[in-house]
Amino acid sequence: MFEAFDAFLSLPTPVMAVLVLLFWGLIAFAVHRLVVPRLCGPDGRRLGRFEAEVTSQIALAFGLLISFNAVWVWDRAERVRGAIHDEAAALGRIVDDAEDIVAEGGSRSAERGEAIRLAVDAYATDLIEREWPGLADGTIDRTRPESFSRLRATLRTYGDEAMHDALQVAQDARELRIRDGLAYMQPSRWGVVFLLAVLLLVSIGALHGDAPRGRRLALTLVTLAISFCFVVLFVNARPFIGPNAMKPDALREIAQRAGQPFDAKESRG
């Protein structure tokens, strides 16, 4: 089920929007042509007067639940985005400290700084080329990569306490990025939102049971509103899937810096 959902989310946003609109349009058409005539009769008066307050309460419940789900989706995306930047910033601090070691002068300092630089370069490149694609298809290995172990061993030999602290921050940020980035919203939450949307359409149809033209217009407008809500949720449902997927740009900058020998760089002043 999740594989099919991810495949749907990977579609371009316009295609996804059209499919969502078609789906809810079919449901609205069924409500207009099948459900409402059965409930309200051919003339739309079988149920008598249908109070608008009923529709308002269902619409309120739908709006609140959509809002709760949207908050969960957006908060999760912000946590993942923050973790990516924290991870890159921590690795960047290690590169800065390694550059300071080289700037101290001496062959021993140069050896230490270059060893750390190469280890950071290997780890950042590993994250970009091997780990990042796995975030999209769910094949990521949650265990620490071998390049991380080599970087930690290098810091034990050549680094200092500040570098070890930065590596711990990078490690914690990576775990947060993976855990929250691969998290799914509970299917029951999607199901409740779907059922409330269907109830809202039925309620709108029953409210205009005796006015087919007004019912068509009302159902069209509500269908558009429901579709827009679902598209917004779908576009942000998975941080590493789809046209708005998060990219490792911050890590690429670190890999680019670490990939250049320090003696070829200008002094940071």
- Secondary structure class of 238 (helix, strand, coil): coil
What's the chain look like in SS3?
Answer: CHHHHHHHHCCCHHHHHHHHHHHHHHHHHHHHHHHHHHHHCCCCCCCCCCCHHHHHHHHHHHHHHHHHHHHHHHHHHHHHHHHHHHHHHHHHHHHHHHHHHHHCCCHHHHHHHHHHHHHHHHHHHHHHHHHHHHHHHCCCCCCCCHHHHHHHHHHHHHCCHHHHHHHHHHHHHHHHHHHHHCCCCCHHHHHHHHHHHHHHHHHHHHHCCCCHHHHHHHHHHHHHHHHHHHHHHHHCCCCCCCCCCCCCHHHHHHHHHHCCCHHHCCCCC
Report the number of secondary-structure helices (H) and strands (E) in the chain.
Answer: 11, 0
User: Among 190, 151, 183, 182, which Cα is nearest to 168's?
Assistant: 151
Separation CA 123–CA 144 (nearest Å):
10
Reading the block at residue 236, the tokens are 């942000």
177 touches 87 (CB < 8 A): yes
pLDDT of residue 265: 46
pTM of the entire predicted model: 0.82
Query: Between the CA of residue 141 and those of 116, 201, 206, what are the distances in Å?
Result: 24, 44, 52
User: Among 203, 200, 206, which Cα is nearest to 44's?
Assistant: 206
Buried b (16+ CB within 10 A) or exposed e, 144-166: ebebbeebbebbeebbeeebeeb
pLDDT of residue 269: 40
Separation CA 136–CA 142 (nearest Å):
13
- Secondary structure class of 104 (helix, strand, coil): coil
Q: Exposed (0-12), middle (13-18) or buried (19+): which is 259, by Cβ within 10 Å?
A: middle
Residues 6+ apart with CB under 8 A from 199: 58, 62
Reading the block at residue 120, the tokens are 């950071």
Q: What are phi and psi of 260, to 5 degrees?
A: -105, 130
> Average pLDDT for consecutive 10-residue bins of the chain (269 residues)?
80 93 96 88 69 84 91 92 95 92 80 91 94 85 88 90 94 94 86 93 87 90 94 89 89 91 52
